[in-house]
Structure 1
Amino acid sequence: MTNWFEQGGRAYARFRPEYPRQLGTYLAELAPEHRVAVDVGCGNGQLTQLLVPYFERVVGLDPSEDQIANAAPGSRIEFQCAAAEELPLADGSANLITAAQAAHWFELPAFYREVRRVGASGAVVALISYGVLKLEASLNERFQRFYREEVGPYWPPERKLVDSGYATIEFPFDEITPPALNIDVEWHLSEFLGYMLTWSAVKRAKDDGNEAVLMAFANEFAALWGNPDRKRPVSWPVNMRIGRL
């Protein structure tokens, strides 16, 4: 029994998928001006960095000091610790307000009040997430069963909002229909299992003493994968709720 999860866990930061560059371009095209963009719940700045080429000032905000410590500031980008419900920006100052893979943790009514306060006339607000990944048919069925049935009970309730692309949440803005976008990578087996190790559900299963289920899946999946050095395509749909103030 190879301990695939322990192997992947040594490089946590490598395994979160990057948003496509087209996403930053699209959001900038929607913004009425390009003075200030703010990315709320920014984590280590994956989406925040995509906005830098288009805006005079980009602000990344996250309540976690650890996440902010791992973000990279620059000449037009800054990071601060702040909650989504108390944005440290002046009234009417932001042309674009984004939240990527984060809005399901917000107290949305308070966040929306802040969006209206800091948003300039015609500002754009974008809630972004990526859905359940897809693999080649030979791997996908086994993965989906693990995701929904075996580790599924360990997901927090908020995960359902991500899986639905935020389709069921209140979104009180003039809505814009976004284009279809995907995150596409090619990964080795260790990269794929390393990504799975970053899931909160996998961590909770381990903490619950159910690591045998994880290991059984990992070794069965490794057999289906074949040569662990073979790269295979992995794809996530990018889901967006986009509106204008």
Structure 2
Amino acid sequence: MTDFKDYFSTKSDSYAHYRPTYPHVLAEQLATLCKEKNIALDCGCGSGQFSLLLANYFEKIMATDASSNQIESATPHPKITYKVAPAEEVPLPNNSVDIITVAQAAHWLDLEKFYAEAKRVLKPKGIIALITYQNSILNDQKSNHLIENFYGKTLDHYWPPERRLVESGYKTLPFPFPEIEFTAPAMIAEWDFHQLYGYFTTWSAFKSFEAAGGAGEIEKFKMELAAAWGDLETTKTITWPLALRVGYFD
């Protein structure tokens, strides 16, 4: 059994509600790389954000996550089978999968074991895509400064070391597949203050800092960001830069 670093089960409902939605065109672009569109495997699926997009292009989706709470919070879909299973131990036969996606989760995996499992289940020339997004950016310099300070200074020592892989856009991840050049679309949302702050509460470092007695500093950040925001019901454009490593099983 693979060791599972579980940072998200305790707030799986918040994760499902507050995480941003991937652009539909991303799933479409990945689907066009596949020779067949029979089975997609979405590992570390969380509550199914990316699995649901894959269902628009593939006949069947196997969506797995090691967290039973995340799977319980997943959105049902007739094409999607949700399973509690680590990405390193997939309940699928050899050479059966057209594409494997891992959205904002590859940095938590035992990559050596995961890659071996990916090579087992992928069809020849099957696609593998590791997807990550980086910090949110607003068209508001003061809010951005407050968020960057909270992320990089207040929470700095509470981020797991794997977070640095996200910050690199996965460029520092080992990736033992012939690579496909891929231009990622932007991930954009129109959110009010409450939605954005709710997203911050899903951060692993936020939870660790809160548990360590950081509630006062968190409340200070919330009040300062609210003051910079203005009308809390007003929506603002938020962008998350997307980065991918895309390859195929040779």
Q: Pick the TM interval, shorter chain.
A: over 0.9
Unaligned runs of at least 5 residues, structure 1: 1-8
Cα deviation digits, residues 162-198 of structure 1 (max 9, x gap) = 1111110100111111113121111111111111111
Matched, 1:150 2:154: yes
Alignment TM-score, normalising by the size of structure 1: 0.92
Whichever residue aligns with residue 127 of structure 2, its letter is V
| Equivalent residue for 2:164, pick from 147, 160, 170 | 160
1:68-217 matches, within 5 Å, as 68-136=71-139, 137-217=141-221
In 2, Cα distance between equivalents of 1:211 and 1:70: 26
Whichever residue aligns with residue 246 of structure 2, its letter is I
In 1, Cα distance between equivalents of 2:227 and 2:55: 42
1:45 alignment partner in structure 2? 48
| Equivalent residue for 1:54, pick from 43, 53, 57 | 57
In 2, Cα distance between equivalents of 1:69 and 1:217: 32
In 1, Cα distance between equivalents of 2:58 and 2:137: 33
Alignment TM-score, normalising by the size of structure 2: 0.91
| CA apart distance, 1:94 | 0.4
Range moving further from structure 2, 111-120 or 135-144: 135-144
1:19 alignment partner in structure 2? 22
| CA apart distance, 1:239 | 1.1
In 1, Cα distance between equivalents of 2:212 and 2:177: 41
Percent of residue pairs identical: 41
Range moving further from structure 2, 117-126 or 221-230: 221-230
| CA apart distance, 1:128 | 0.5
In 1, Cα distance between equivalents of 2:198 and 2:116: 38
After TM superposition, where is structure 1 displaced by more than 4 Å over at least 4 residues in a row? none
Aligned residues: 236
Range moving further from structure 2, 17-26 or 50-59: 50-59
Whichever residue aligns with residue 97 of structure 2, its letter is A
Whichever residue aligns with residue 131 of structure 1, its letter is Q
Whichever residue aligns with residue 41 of structure 2, its letter is V
Maintained 8 Å contact 2:44/2:65: yes
Maintained 8 Å contact 2:184/2:244: no
SS at match of 1:213: helix
2:224 alignment partner in structure 1? 220
Please give the root-mean-square deviation of Cα atoms over the aligned residues, in Å: 1.4
